[in-house]
Amino acid sequence: MDQPIKIAVMGATGCGKTSFINLASRSNLQVGAALESCTPDVQLANEFTLDGRRVVLIDTPGFDDTTKSDTDILKKIGSFLATSYESGSRLAGLLYVHRISDKRFGGIAGRNFKIFRDLCGEKSLKNVVLVTNMWGEVSLEVGEDREKELSSKFLKPALDKGAQMIRHHNNERSAHDIIRRIMNNHPVVLRIQQELVDEHKDITNTSAAETINAELEEAKRRHDAEVKKAQEEMARALREKEEQTRRRIEEETRKREEEMRRVREERERVELQRRQEMERVEQEARRLAEQARIERQRAEEEHRRQVALLNERLAAEAAAAEAARRAEQERIDHLQHQIHHHHHHHDNGGGCVIM
């Protein structure tokens, strides 16, 4: 009897891998509820028959797990694929599930797809179906716009190398139609199987791991750059603050010096005024003293002049008095002489005597 057809289902965590598998295989594998990652390990779904062929779908944990690193997820998927390759099992194809409801394919979704492509290698892309699901979550218009963008941009290189893109309508028939697209392909060997088994590479040296590391490096670089930028920003802010403080202190110092200069000038001005005032007062005092001296001198002179005048007048008066006295004396003498003379002529004449 033929080996069953094996198809691996991959994609980001929560994209609907397990749901798809349950639909297609009528299995009852656990489906994630909220935002938590659900499928922790690679698991096989119930075998089912499609167009007379036995089919086994392989469920895988999604990258971007909320609890495990991408490297851990890669190790799990890688070791499963290596083991099955070693035991002679080949994959007929791979489904890569992508939610059409996701707004962007850049960033995380783009990185997941890159890891997937590294894992597959170029040659197995013709056995890859890119499944878009969750069409019910967006309007058909939005979904179709995104689908066009995906096929013309992000998924173009893969589509150009033989991958197909198909919508999944979240029902069994749709899931089976998707499986039919690859179930009759020649089985492929994935690059990671060659790397791990044929080339005996360690999982950490595989292309997929390198992509993860590069992405981690890039994320670290971005993070470091952001930290550096933040630090520079802080340093700049600090410098600016310091510069501001420096300027403020400078300004204050300048103001204080200005104030001091003003006070000093004011004091000098007052001092000058005081000196000028003193000088003026001294001059005035000198002038008054001089004036007083002159006045005194003048008064003294006047006094002397008065005294001299008085003396003169006194002398004159004395002289006049003397003259008068002398004149009187003379008159008396004359009179006496006359009297005497008269006596000589009129001896017994009684008449009067004028004194």
Ligand X SMILES: Nc1nc2c(ncn2[C@@H]2O[C@H](COP(=O)(O)OP(=O)(O)OP(=O)(O)O)[C@@H](O)[C@H]2O)c(=O)[nH]1
Interface mask (CB under 6 A) for ligand X, residues 165-204, using x and -? -----x----------------------------------
Query: Closest Cα partner for 119 from 181, 211, 187?
Result: 211
Q: Which residues contact 165 (CB under 8 A, 6 or more apart)?
A: 129, 130, 132, 147, 150, 151, 155, 159
> Greatest CA separation found in the chain?
231
* 98 makes contact with ligand X (CB under 6 A): no
Sequence letter at residue 323: A
Nearer to ligand X, 16 or 195 (CB): 16
Closer to ligand X by Cβ: residue 137 or 243: 137
Residues 51-70 that bind ligand X (CB under 6 A): 61-62
Among residues 7, 8, 10, 16, the one that binds ligand X under rule CB under 6 A: 16
Nearer to ligand X, 102 or 162 (CB): 102
Subset of 106-165 contacting ligand X (CB under 6 A): 133-134, 136-137
38 vs 212 by CB, closer to Mg ion: 38
Nearest by Cα to 206 from 81, 60, 74, 305:
74
Residue closer to ligand X, measured from CB, 57 or 195: 57
The gap from C-alpha 171 to its chain's centroid, in whole angstroms, comes to 55
Exposure string for 166-193, b = 16+ CB within 10 A, e = fewer: bbbeeeeebbbbbbebbbebeebbbbbb
18 binds Mg ion (CB under 5 A): yes
Nearer to Mg ion, 45 or 120 (CB): 45
Q: How far is the CB of 27 from ligand X (least distance, A)?
A: 11
143 binding partner (options Mg ion, ligand X, none; Cβ < 5 to 8 Å by kind): none
31 is a site residue for ligand X (CB under 6 A): yes
- Cβ neighbours of residue 122 under 8 Å, at least 6 residues apart? 161, 191
| Buried b or exposed e, range 28-60, using 16+ CB within 10 angstroms | ebeebeeeebbbeebbbbeebebeeeebbbbbb
Interface with ligand X includes 37 (CB under 6 A)? yes
Cβ neighbors of 111 (< 8 A, separation 6 or more) are 63, 211, 215
> With binding defined as CB under 6 A, does residue 78 bind ligand X?
no
Q: Which among 34-42, 230-238, 269-277, 299-307 is the span making contact with ligand X, rule CB under 6 A? A: 34-42
Cα–Cα–Cα angle for 38, 39, 45, rounded to 5 degrees: 135
Minimal distance, residue 74 CB to ligand X, in Å: 14
Q: Are 131 and 96 in contact (CB under 8 A)?
A: yes
Q: Minimum CB separation from ligand X for residue 175, in Å?
A: 10
Interface contacts to ligand X, rule CB under 6 A: 11, 13-19, 31-33, 37-39, 61-62, 133-134, 136-137, 170
Site residues for Mg ion per CB under 5 A: 17-18, 38-39
